[in-house]
Amino acid sequence: MDLRYSASDEAFRAELRAWLGATLPQLPPEPPRDDWPARVVYDTDWQKRLYEAGYAGMSWPTEYGGRDAPPSEQLIFLEECSNAKAPYVGVNFVGTLHAGPTLIAEGTDAQKAAHIPKILRGEEVWCQCFSEPDAGSDLAGLTTRAVRDGDHYVVTGRKLWCSFGQVGEYGELLARTDPDVPKHKGISWFILPMDLPGIEVRPIETILGSSEFCEVFLDEVRVPVEQIVGKENDGWRVTNVTLSFERGTAFVSEMVDAMRMAEELAPRVHDPADRRELGHVIAEFDALWALTKRNVSRAATKGDTGLGGMIMKLAYSEARDRLCELSMRVLERGAFDVHEPYVEERLRTLSLTIAAGTSQIQRNILSERVLGLPRERQWPVGE
């Protein structure tokens, strides 16, 4: 057990720091959060710079233009970028972290050739069309239909919480291709060109008053059959394959950011009880940072992150919630403005315990897969 970075890790860090130091001052000012056209320009420009410098696709295989970096370098990359306040992955999120890895694992040669290089170079923006009004935690219960009609699937339904829906050129779409089999076995994964006729995108106003997510209406959208990824009805497995790309570095950027927030908040925390709470928050983030190093180490040596990977989302989101609640206790009421960074962060953090598996779903998964406890009986319970 050791926490020392290797000489090659440190060399990578030094080289990256030098590049960040030279590159970040050249960036234009960050656009306002709801100016989506400007955000696309800003975020994809950053992705292009990363690509040209060899830092795009840190975890991607080299044959797809990635760097195939060891997990420790992936950790250092995220840590240094966050420390230097480099742009966040932004509108490139779905493409680089979700759709791209899915296509690498499951796409055809033609699908890979059409999308992988563009995603990596910041030339193609993706959005996600997974959740539905009646399929949230129970995602596999989705009802958007895709009916085969010659060379096309005809897709009809409603998608919700589509991140970057207003700017995505392609969507990763889950739709039901067989309604007569158990729910996990009748779903397919599609590449959805967002400019097809029959697609309407409406922004959702969030608790922040911003438009991070969209609702997408699909009305008999004709999707060419070559846009299916993986086999028909195998979409649930395809969706879960993506997760195996993650090499223990989940939440690194967010955690560096949270630790900085705690340090910056410290001078405003005066009350002894609040100071004590600050100490608790620091202990938790220090421990989760150590846990990240454990997960990265395990990903490198054992290929999976084990228990540490399974608890990270729940532990991190709850710790961040605690930090945000502390910030609200120490702010003056005059600072209760949604554009005040701590207030904005407090509101945004409410989504962490909900999105991508609520804390309650995380607890179910942990208790079943780690502790071996049985599933709760389904309702209605038969007599």
| Binding site residues, other proteins, CB under 8 A | 1-6, 9, 72, 262-263, 266-270, 272, 275-280, 282-284, 286-288, 290-291, 293-294, 296-298, 300-302, 307-308, 311, 314-315, 360, 362-364, 366-368, 370-377
Q: Which is nearer to other proteins, 28 or 272 (CB)?
A: 272
CA distance 292 to 305: 9
CA distance 289 to 297: 12
SS (H, E, C) 122-159: CCCCEEEECCECCECCCHHHCCCEEEEECCEEEEEEEE
CA distance 89 to 47: 8
What type of residue is 379? W
Classify residue 245 as exposed, middle or buried by CB count within 10 Å of its CB (0-12, 13-18, 19+): middle
Q: Which is nearer to other proteins, 99 or 255 (CB)?
A: 255
Q: Which is nearer to other proteins, 210 or 367 (CB)?
A: 367
Q: CB of 310: closest distance to other proteins in angstroms?
A: 9
Q: CB of 373: closest distance to other proteins in angstroms?
A: 4
Q: CB of 378: closest distance to other proteins in angstroms?
A: 11
Q: Which is nearer to other proteins, 304 or 337 (CB)?
A: 304
Q: Which is nearer to other proteins, 237 or 268 (CB)?
A: 268
Q: CB of 205: closest distance to other proteins in angstroms?
A: 31
277 is catalytic: no
Q: Which is nearer to other proteins, 6 or 108 (CB)?
A: 6
- Catalytic residue chosen out of the listed positions 172, 246, 277, 284: 246
CA distance 100 to 126: 9
Among the listed residues 202, 172, 200, 199, the one whose alpha carbon sits nearest the alpha carbon of residue 187: 172
Q: CB of 314: closest distance to other proteins in angstroms?
A: 6
Classify residue 154 as exposed, middle or buried by CB count within 10 Å of its CB (0-12, 13-18, 19+): middle
Q: CB of 61: closest distance to other proteins in angstroms?
A: 23
Six-digit token string for 232: 């028909």
**Sequential DSSP letters for 341-374:** HHHHHHHHHTTTTTTTS-HHHHHHHIIIIIS-PP
Contact between 272 and 94 under an 8 Å Cβ cutoff? The reply is no
Q: Active-site residue numbers?
A: 246
